[in-house]
Chains A and B, each alone.
Chain A
């Protein structure tokens, strides 16, 4: 036995280590057995979930509203560019996790000090809870189409958090959530079912006469929401929890790229479905709670039903991924166990935070008279305002040769990353400042 192996053998292995080792055994078998498709399947997860999680309830309503008001000409290519920007950032998250085996929160805390570390985790927790409120609202919008109320929405969201996290296995959690994520494709189905007035999709490429200020604001807010802090925390921590290593980076890029592609297609689906509602009523942001009904009125019950189901899925998926990102951040910053591979007893803070953040948001939507629309709108503004902080630290960490060795960012990646950060910062600042001056 070599000296290193002796040291490793002496390490106290936790159940988390053993679970992760079993996952890695499967990856090793697939890799050495040259089972390429199985290897790709085993390494799929964090990227797809981060990207499809970003297609959350408010985002899909927003895409649909854009389609209804402005048509497809501008926003269709715009969505493609947005997810390309997301890919640049999320690839760095995956690479950081695979190389350092540490989550984003832990790295920021260690490398830049407790002030920044706790600030990052704290602002993530606050924006996540607020965002979770809008996800529960999205589920309520979807369920409302079927005559079900807020209590059912709250119960559904919470039960999904509990069921997915049970079992003490990251792999199980990931596969359950991936299964749910596939239903993001319902928006594509809704687009296919939508009635575009006999002209097909091309025939809906009209634009509403909109002032430049409105369009610029829409662009700014959408750019600002391209990469949100929870995505950064989530994908890096999930890559670590999954046990990814530098040998998996190629597949991690594929996972992230496929996630971006799927999210783009599903986002375009919502945009196209929304275009069918043009002229059938005023749809405005999350106030478009009647959107599934409007789609049913314009295109038939099937289209409305599918879109409503898509809203439920979008909200539920985001609840699972956003709650998980909060839990990862809490565990990493406090320095305790933070893994789905750990049982609730061994990772009390992690599992407790995962559940508590969703529970808090669920309670808020049940409060009579709670300003849910205002909360939802400002959640988006806050997330976009705070995103540049997460992205700047992400770029600094991914460029750090001492941390990343040969896997540090190349100059081209830094240039692209810097450009994305600049656009997100400008978009977020413009959106935040405009929201402020509209309110005063």
Chain B
């Protein structure tokens, strides 16, 4: 459960908020619920990134071969 960050009654121990304690901050936050449009967009982003990265790696290898 995500602690509401704007709750005015946040308790402090020492000068830390509860959510700042290592034991609390290491707890995972829930997975985001993504719409289909966002999922498709992220897949497109994945392809865009892999294509660009591949082009950069190719360019680097070609530059090395060219000496």
Query: Which residue of the partner chain B has the closest CB to A404?
Result: B5
- Given A21-B16, A25-B14, decide whether A405 and B45 contact each other with a Cβ distance below 8 A: no
- Given A8-B13, A101-B25, A113-B31, decide whether A389 and B45 contact each other with a Cβ distance below 8 A: yes
A240 touches B14 (CB 8 A): no
A382 touches B22 (CB 8 A): no
A167 vs chain B, min Cβ distance (A): 19
Interface of A is mostly: helix
Q: Is B62 an interface residue (CB 8 A)?
A: yes
Interface residue stretch chosen among A75-83, A190-198, A355-363, A426-434 = A426-434
Residue of B15, B16, B56 near A381 (CB, 8 A) is B56
B5 touches A11 (CB 8 A): no
Q: Is B40 an interface residue (CB 8 A)?
A: no
A154 vs chain B, min Cβ distance (A): 22
Q: Is A116 an interface residue (CB 8 A)?
A: yes
| Contact residues of B between 14 and 60, Cβ < 8 Å to A | 14-26, 28-32, 34, 42, 45-46, 48-49, 52-53, 55-56, 58-60
B25 vs chain A, min Cβ distance (A): 5
| Contact residues of A between 1 and 42, Cβ < 8 Å to B | 2, 4-5, 7-9, 11-14, 16-18, 20-22, 24-25, 27-28
Query: Which residue of the partner chain A has the closest CB to B22?
Result: A14
Q: Is A179 an interface residue (CB 8 A)?
A: no
Complex: how many Å from CA A197 to CA B25? 58
- Given A406-B6, A428-B52, A432-B55, decide whether A374 and B11 contact each other with a Cβ distance below 8 A: no
Query: Which residue of the partner chain B has the closest CB to A243?
Result: B20
Q: Is A402 an interface residue (CB 8 A)?
A: yes
Chain B residues, Cβ within 8 Å of A14 = 22-23
Contact with B along A350-387 (1 / 0, CB 8 A): 00000000000000000000010011001001100110
Residue of B6, B15, B52, B62 near A246 (CB, 8 A) is B6
Complex: how many Å from CA A256 to CA B31? 29
Contact with B along A408-440 (1 / 0, CB 8 A): 000000000000000000001100110110111
B52 touches A378 (CB 8 A): no
A245 touches B17 (CB 8 A): yes
Chain B residues, Cβ within 8 Å of A388 = 45, 48-49
Query: Which residue of the partner chain A has the closest CB to B50?
Result: A119
Interface of B is mostly: helix
Residue of B4, B42, B59 near A405 (CB, 8 A) is B4
Residue of A24, A99, A381 near B5 (CB, 8 A) is A99
Residue of B15, B26, B46 near A21 (CB, 8 A) is B15
Chain A residues, Cβ within 8 Å of B15 = 21, 24-25, 27-28
Residue of B21, B52, B62 near A11 (CB, 8 A) is B21
Residue of A2, A25, A110, A246 near B29 (CB, 8 A) is A110
Q: Is A118 an interface residue (CB 8 A)?
A: no
B59 touches A438 (CB 8 A): yes
B28 touches A11 (CB 8 A): no
Residue of A2, A13, A102 near B21 (CB, 8 A) is A13
A386 touches B49 (CB 8 A): yes
Query: Which residue of the partner chain B has the closest CB to A107?
Result: B29
**What are 27 A-B pairs at a CB distance below 8 A?**
A4-B11, A5-B11, A9-B13, A17-B16, A22-B14, A27-B15, A100-B19, A110-B28, A110-B31, A111-B32, A243-B16, A243-B20, A374-B60, A374-B63, A378-B56, A381-B59, A385-B55, A386-B49, A388-B45, A403-B2, A405-B6, A432-B52, A432-B55, A433-B55, A435-B55, A438-B59, A439-B63
Which B residues lie at the A interface, using CB under 8 A? 2, 4-6, 11, 13-26, 28-32, 34, 42, 45-46, 48-49, 52-53, 55-56, 58-60, 62-64, 66
Extra 8 A-B pairs, beta carbons < 8 Å, given A21-B16, A374-B60: A9-B13, A13-B21, A100-B19, A240-B25, A245-B20, A371-B64, A381-B59, A432-B55
Report, nearest first, the 4 A-B pairs whose CB atoms are least far apart: A21-B14, A24-B15, A439-B59, A385-B52
